[in-house]
Amino acid sequence: MKKLDALLHKVYGTTPGGNGLQPKEAIAYGVAGFGQNFICTIIGSYLTIFLTDALLFGAKGVTIGGVTGSMAVAWLMLGTRIFDALNDPIMGSVVDKTRTKWGKCRPYLKWMAIPIAVMTIACFLPVFKEKATPTFIIVGIIYVLWSVAYTVADVPYWGLSTCMTNDTVVRGNLLTVTRLLCTLGAGIVTVFVPIITNGITAKYKYTDANIGQIMADKGVDAETAKNFIGTVIQGQESANAETLKWTYFICAAVLVIAAVPMFFYGFKHTKERFTADDNPPSFGHNLKLLFKNDQLLLIVLSGVFGGARMVYTYTGGLYFAKYVLQNEGMYSLITLLVVPGGLVASLLVPWMSKKFTKKWAYIAVHLFGGIVMAIMYFVGYDAPWKLVIAAIGLVLLGIPQGVNNIITYAMIGDTVDYLEWKTGERGEGICFAMQTLINKIGMAVGAFIGVISFSAAGINSETGYISAEGANTLWNMLVLSGVISMFACAVPMFFYKITEKRQAEMVAEIETRKATK
């Protein structure tokens, strides 16, 4: 146990027996994030396809409010996430005004675990009827309520890291390990859910081997026969959708049951050490603080520009696997290919930050990611060797993804110290609300581009048909949007000026001020 304890102190950079952050506490923080990502990922990655493929709003001829069903889903995903993102500053202000015996951030892990669980399961209720406008409205309302409940927990969760320690190295290590656990939690969901859904619904689908028989039975040409691939005859399309509904519902229920205890564990075993005791600020005052934190706004702008950099890991990648590769289980491979690069990058983040600073590490990996995606775009996918190039590209794209997942949180933590140095106020809630805003914009853009690509490609979720031209459209939209986003998000960071040395100087100045009061 002593060796393990020593190892954990080394990993987190903590001091044994000190009054500061301890490994047990850091692990509890990561466990909460692990469970949180079970819930976030089942909604972020699969609610869209639940709507288009299980509730069949992606079927040909379905309209909602005068637009096609797939476009209605796209606008629902985008509109809800933007609404949700705009709520983040409000929630950040609420967090900064919260005063309880447990602190200002921790209590929300306890208070919101059950509401989030209920709303998550409600999004996937199997009693919803396919292609019905009332169903779309009901699911939309539940999704909006879920997004509000999730925000109430997510903003204080990430703000908690700055309350636990003000040491930028320790905080960086804490966030590195936590993001690894979050990525692992999200990875479990993205890997296993499509394998499960593909396996359970396989009996309802035709494969390429059936084309000849379909042609013989139906007396149609090859192109027309393709319309039948991915479906069954004699009314089994409905059975396929019904099975999908129950499969997603059960997956969501299992993940929620596993996640809720992790929220409570994180609440119980963490501690806030740097929480202001002064009068709680108003929302208007917090907004003024936000605009005074010019370094944070650069990070936010970069995050907005980078909203589409990982669209291939969201709904669009799942559609590509299901309709172009004819196996939605291949989406698991797509997400797994990103993992090695992400893990290597995550482990290298402390070294990269020390050697090059967070700023230049962030810029370099995103320029690298843009080049990789540009190569993938021009090479294409329509030959085995091209798919190999694409697979290598996905492995390499794990590097910017892994670095971004960790460094952004650490940089925002540094801007909290910057804000306190500049104004005398920390504003953890309003500052970390910007991180959740960035995440939600990414999810919104990812889902929106994915469903827009689905619609532009002419996919019919009821028949599973996609033309060769449609497949090219899907590929081009998914990859090219990533190229543009990777390059664009690096631009604002050229103007970011907080270095590791400068952050340590600011913290020292803050402590001196407090000591002389």
Residue by residue, DSSP assigns 88-121 as: HHHHHHHHHH--BTTBSSTHHHHHHHHHHHHHHH
Q: How far apart are CA 75 and CA 47, in angstroms?
A: 13
Q: How far is CA 507 from CA 288, 503, 513, in A?
A: 22, 6, 10
* Residue 71 scores a pLDDT above 70: yes
Contact 283, 93 (CB under 8 A): yes
Cβ contact 28:269 at 8 Å: yes
Q: How far is CA 286 from CA 27, 98, 427, in A?
A: 31, 13, 7
3-state secondary structure 275-293: CCCCCCCCHHHHHHHHHHC
Looking at mean pLDDT, say which of 88-102, 171-185, 470-484 comes out highest. 470-484
Tell me the per-residue pLDDT of 312-359, one tens digit each, with 9 for 90 and over. Answer: 877 788 889 988 888 888 898 888 888 888 878 877 888 888 888 899
pLDDT tier at 442, thresholds 50, 70, 90: confident
pLDDT at 217: 59
Terminal CA-CA length for the chain = 43
Position 341 scores a pLDDT of 84
DSSP notation for 191-245: HHHHHHHHHHHGGG---GGGHHHHHHHHT--HHHHGGGTT--STTHHHHHHHHHH
Using one digit for the tens of pLDDT, what is the confidence trace for 206-218? 544 444 555 555 5
Rounded CA gap, 174 and 410, in Å? 9
CA 356, distance to chain mean position in Å, is 27
Q: pLDDT band at 26, cuts 50/70/90?
A: very high
For residues 439 and 427, give the distance between their C-alpha atoms in angstroms, rounded to a whole number: 19
Look at residue 67 and give its three-state secondary structure.
strand
Of 167-171, 382-386, 471-475, which gets the smallest average pLDDT?
167-171
| Average per-residue pLDDT for the chain | 86
Return the pLDDT at 124.
Answer: 97
Instruction: Look up residue 86 and give its amino acid.
Output: L
Number of separate helices (H) and strands (E) present in the chain: 17, 2
436 has a pLDDT exceeding 80: no
Per-residue pLDDT at 340? 86
Give the model confidence (pLDDT) of 408-418 as tens digits: 878 988 998 89
Are 155 and 105 contacting, i.e. CB atoms less than 8 angstroms apart? no
Determine contact, residues 198/331, Cβ cutoff 8 Å. Answer: no
**Which pLDDT value is given to residue 406?**
81
CATH fold for domain 26-273+282-516: Growth Hormone; Chain: A; (1.20.1250)
Predicted confidence (pLDDT) per residue in 356-391, tens digit = 889 999 999 999 999 999 999 999 998 999 999 999
The pLDDT score that the predictor gives to residue 61 is 86
pLDDT of residue 435: 77
Q: What's CA 397's distance to the chain center, in Å?
A: 15
Output the pLDDT for position 352.
86
Confidence of residue 173 (pLDDT cuts 50, 70, 90): confident
Say whether pLDDT at 44 is over 90.
no
Neighbours of 297 (CB within 10 A): 15
At CA 487, angle to CA 485 and CA 488, rounded to 5?
Answer: 60
**What value does the mean pLDDT take over residues 47-52?**
93
Q: Tell me what pLDDT residue 227 has.
A: 55
d(CA 55, CA 49): 9
State the Cα–Cα distance between residues 62 and 52, nearest whole angstrom: 10
Inform me whether the pLDDT recorded for 230 exceeds 50. no
Q: In percent, how much of the chain has pLDDT > 70?
A: 92
Q: What is the pLDDT averaged over residues 102-116?
A: 94
Q: pLDDT exceeding 90 applies to what percent of the chain?
A: 42
Residue 14 confidence class, pLDDT cut points 50, 70, 90: confident
> Residue 401 in contact with residue 187, Cβ under 8 Å?
no
| Confidence check: pLDDT of 472 > 60 | yes
| In the chain, where the domains are located | 26-273+282-516
- Among 197, 96, 13, 25, which Cα is nearest to 427's? 96
Could you give the CA distance from residue 446 to residue 303 in angstroms, rounded to a whole number?
13
